[in-house]
Amino acid sequence: MNKKLLSALAVIVWFLAACQPVSPAGTPTPTVTPLPASPTAETDSPSPTAPAPDPAIPDFSRIVIVIFENKEFDKVIGNPQMPVFNRLAQEYTLLTGHYAVAHPSLPNYIALTGGDTFGIDSDCRDCFVNAPSLPDLIEQSGRTWKTYQEDMPSPCFLGNKGDYAQKHNPFVYFDPIRLDAARCERSVVPLAELDADLAAGTLPNYSFISPNLCHDSHDCGLDVSDQWLDGLLARLLPALDATGEPYLVVLTFDEGNKDGSCCGLPEPGGGRVATVLVSPQAKNGFQDDTPYSHYSLLKTISAAWGLAYLGHAADETTPLILAPWK
């Protein structure tokens, strides 16, 4: 190749380079950012919207759930083995149409906490759920919560031991609680911590109390459960009364001994259970025969505090518990 041809080629290359647009000084050449991966079903779903607190339901400072085991309504109400429970049913409000969601125990505990059974139909120990639950919403609202589990060996313990049964502790089944060690150990605690919290005036806004397998009437008689309840309330109610603030103590059972359903629940349902609302804000000597389910209880707690309705708590067929309040 001769010198004239090389010179001509050099001129052409220089001319083409000079025609390219030049970024302004100090401005980096733009780059293309890859599109994010498709959202998962969980993140793609809109977050539930929190309604305003329902003025028909008292703005309780504290709500306490005490849950017993496996007894149909007519095995409890009018039973002379449960004088304390029946006295409270006569003095406060008794729900005569409250139904459990399913059989066996665990799906009912999960439903009370997450608004769904998430397909759980046994007392499994490793059927964990990656979903929001009532404690998440309680914390987001600036409130506090704890579950007090009788005979649980240590905070956030997994498994069964002695008279402690994991199936009666729904909170460890929810991944956002169980997998956050600090959170779980702070809020999923043995019942022995309750007295210290009462003495210190640090009872949380929401408490969920599970007796052991004897005291919840699973393995022992109803007379034993009633005596245990009497001792618990002798410590709990004076502390709540001393605050002078509105409160609610719910006494209920996870499921009945029979089938029974209402309120849009799938058949056969978990049976009719005795539920008593103990509160200065509850009507005295009142019986509410409205058909309710465990989802109604979750929905009513959420409505009192202006929390989002989880799962089936949002269903139109799930009624709020409105009649009992003064």
Give CA–CA dist 55/279, Å, rounded. Answer: 17
What would the 3-class secondary structure string for 207-220 be?
A: EEEECCCCCCCCCC
Q: How far apart are CA 94 and CA 100, in angstroms?
A: 15
Rounded Cα distance, 101 and 170, in Å: 15
| Torsion from C-alpha of 311, 312, 313, 316, nearest 10 degrees | 130
219 is catalytic: yes
Query: DSSP character for 20?
Result: S
Peptide bond into 104 cis (omega under 30): yes
Angle in degrees, 0-180, between the axes of helices 222-243 and 193-200, rounded to the nearest 10? 20
Among candidate residues 62, 87, 55, 95, the one with its CA nearest the CA of residue 248: 62
CA distance 144 to 138: 6
Residue 273 is which amino acid? V
Question: Which residues share a beta bridge with 67?
Answer: 252
> CB-based burial of residue 44 (10 Å sphere; 0-12 exposed, 13-18 middle, 19+ buried)?
exposed
Q: Active site residue: 74, 121, 219, 241, which one?
A: 219
Q: Write the DSSP assignment of 41-87 as a string of letters.
A: HHHHSPPPPPPPPPTTS---SEEEEEEE-S--HHHHTT-TT-HHHHH
User: What is the end-to-end Cα distance of the chain in Å, rounded?
Assistant: 105
- Positions marked catalytic: 219
